[in-house]
A = this chain, B = another copy of it.
Amino acid sequence: MSLRADAARNRSLLLAAAIEEFALHGVDAPVSAIARRAGLGKGTVFRHFPTKDDLVAAIVLDRITRLTELATELAEADDAGAAVLEFMRFAARQRQQLDLSFLSGDLGSEVAEAQQRMARAITALVDRARAQGALRPDVTGTDVMLLMCVPQDVVKHLPDAPPELWERYLAILFDGLRPEGAHPLPGF
Contact = CB atoms under 8 A, between A and B. Distances in A.
Interface of A: 101, 103-104, 142-143, 146-147, 150, 153-158, 169, 171-177, 180-181, 184
Nearest to A157: B103
Contacts of A184: 180
26 contacts: A103-B157, A103-B158, A104-B156, A104-B157, A142-B158, A143-B169, A146-B154, A146-B155, A146-B157, A146-B169, A147-B154, A147-B169, A147-B172, A150-B150, A150-B153, A153-B153, A171-B176, A172-B173, A172-B176, A173-B173, A173-B176, A174-B176, A175-B175, A175-B176, A175-B180, A180-B184
Nearest to A150: B150
Contacts of A158: 103, 142, 146
A67 to B, nearest CB: 15
A79 to B, nearest CB: 19
- Count of chain copies: 2
Nearest to A174: B176
Contacts of A157: 101, 103-104, 146
B156 A143 contact: no
Contacts of A177: 172, 176
Among A147, A175, A181: residue with most chain B CB under 10 A: A175
Given A153-B153, A175-B175, A175-B176, 13 more contacts: A101-B157, A103-B157, A104-B156, A104-B157, A142-B158, A143-B172, A146-B155, A146-B157, A146-B158, A171-B176, A172-B177, A173-B176, A181-B181
B156 A150 contact: no
